[in-house]
Structure 1
């Protein structure tokens, strides 16, 4: 299987050229080559159309959390007289956590769901108590409208927790239909494990498309006439260098597929190992 590094074939004007020698470098812009100078004998490289494993993805970040939490309330005027569960312990639904008393009668506070029990310090040095469901955990990220259209429930995500330097697999489990401040909430489900702590920062990479052994060319070798993509083959190298123009007969139009911003999938118009031009300024 080929790596995603393109093979570079150098085109030179000579074997030994003084460093002061100046050659014109061309920049492809809408079919016209803009000229600039560079003290190098390398003007263009020929790169092959080659088959690689291609993935496109969307990135985001967020905090590890439980998507299902429940707060336990102690009635105003009541005090906890006995405690049966410590902070961070696992509990089952309907389990007794506290015995409380209001001075007249006693009552039990029970857990509404199964999970991990946590005590948090609130305002005025008061405590709040919550249960985090550990069967429904993950990260909520914000995704732009241009990227959310590419996403689907069930897509694979790679989730990196920098605090423990560990990458885990996740899945897209929810995509909001309502934007919040210009972006869309997306839920990435990640199974709970003992080395994860709620509140850990996580970086998320969601794979939106995957192609095995797709025919690809470098992203920067593709040019456009309006919405029509094209490349220039190696056989036109001398003509392009001569006057800086790309004429219609030099263009090979291609149909493109997915892109990861480094490589573009070619669906039609090129064969494997066809050599195309790419300026060395890229």
Structure 2
């Protein structure tokens, strides 16, 4: 073979390899999406402010986005919204259901923080771990719009359900809690979280003071603390670059193989059904 032809063949091979690698790089997701996941959440909040003798539970909805920065720590941003409610009983021993005041509100909170997964530190990193607990720490702010109403025993003789006062505003918050995730496959997981939030405001229920029968105003305790428990469904946009500990290689292989087999069986059943219909 002539020397010039050899050089030409080598040049063609190198050029095709370079073009193929460039195409692969172009199609590859940007690195920012590695270890990036989004979750939709739904659950309940439990208000522990001033008007909390009864009816403290209401609904909350939201979502969060997490970005893994190493094998055990992820940054997080979250939005949660919903309603809060509560009733303050009058304390009448002859009729314990008499209500002094009650409230409802609409709130939206925005938080940034981090999650820490202790098992990834204690037992080693294993992304296919079925159950993985984690610790949540975050800070942010909450917007609230609250309305407070007189109850049927308010000492002032005001008709039940009369609007007492309205409050709205924005308050900084700090929050912390625990979560537990269940790994379904390489892209999907479900989780449950419980988070306690401390706002630096006493007006989420619109109630910052109350009055004795003689008209004396009494200031309430500061800060309207509340809990939120939610169930979430998480989708991993792109897998991270962290590798499992070598001791988990076989477990990861078996899990992946079982999923592949189950998905193959589903595909075969679907194909066979289509064929029978024909």
**What TM-score results when the alignment is normalised by the length of structure 1?**
0.23
Which entry has the higher C-alpha Rg, 1 or 2?
Answer: 1
Q: Which structure has the highest strand share of the two?
A: 1
